[in-house]
Structure 1
Amino acid sequence: LDPVPSAQTQVIGSVGDRDLVMRTVRENRIEAIVHSGALHKPDIELQRNEDFIETNVRGTLNLLDAAVVSGVQRFVFTSTTSLMISKAIRAGLIGGARKAAWLTEDMSPEPRNIYGVTKLSAEHLCRLY
């Protein structure tokens, strides 16, 4: 499933299109879903907040529901490390601005924009399933 045609694309559309997602998963004997589709940080200037919610949140929910209805046992969701970059790390107070900072699951997410908010929301949806 891809929003634009390519050599490897079999279905053109959006994860935000619930009917398309349900039909695609049901009709193609999907065994696993690897969900990495999203509007990204560079899209903030080009897209409306509603577009981020439609793609990143509703799209994730659509894929999760399709997985459940169709009996897909494996679902992998890719989020973003930008949720873990705190103000302190960005300011160079921890780890140094020019040094690598260790990011761990123990760090609290700190979404800074609509992209981060929607990716964190999608993570929470995945935990519900």
Structure 2
Amino acid sequence: ATEDMDVLLETLDLQRCMMIPLASANVGSRLQEWHADSNRQRYEHIADQIDSTLRENETGLLLISERHQVQFPSDIEVFYVSPPALDEYRRWFQNWMDQQQSAAEAAKLSTENNPENGGDDGADADGSTEEHETN
């Protein structure tokens, strides 16, 4: 097996712990350090397993997250393959993020350009406007 199950389970448990809101920044920091160390151990083990089991002129297949940190031995030729749907999703997500950022920046500029009314255009909640007479 490529994985060390104890280290994998430790990493998964730490990921779960990091999903819950924590009151202490110190605890959060220690969890992140522990998780980073566990991940490092995991990826080192995977690299060591590949190096010790894959012989010259053999082909191996590793299915792993694109965010992995496995450092492959220098004598191994690596090909990364991802399905077209993943590329399509990445482009959609990037476009969506760009739109969200543009909308947030536009809203911020609108508020900054009209500070006396906080960006209010004079319309009521229903979109109508009322004229007020002053004496």
TM-score (norm 2): 0.30
Bigger radius of gyration, 1 or 2?
2
More relative contact order in 1 or in 2 (CA 8 Å, sep 6+)? 1
TM-score (norm 1): 0.31
Greater fraction of residues in strand:
1
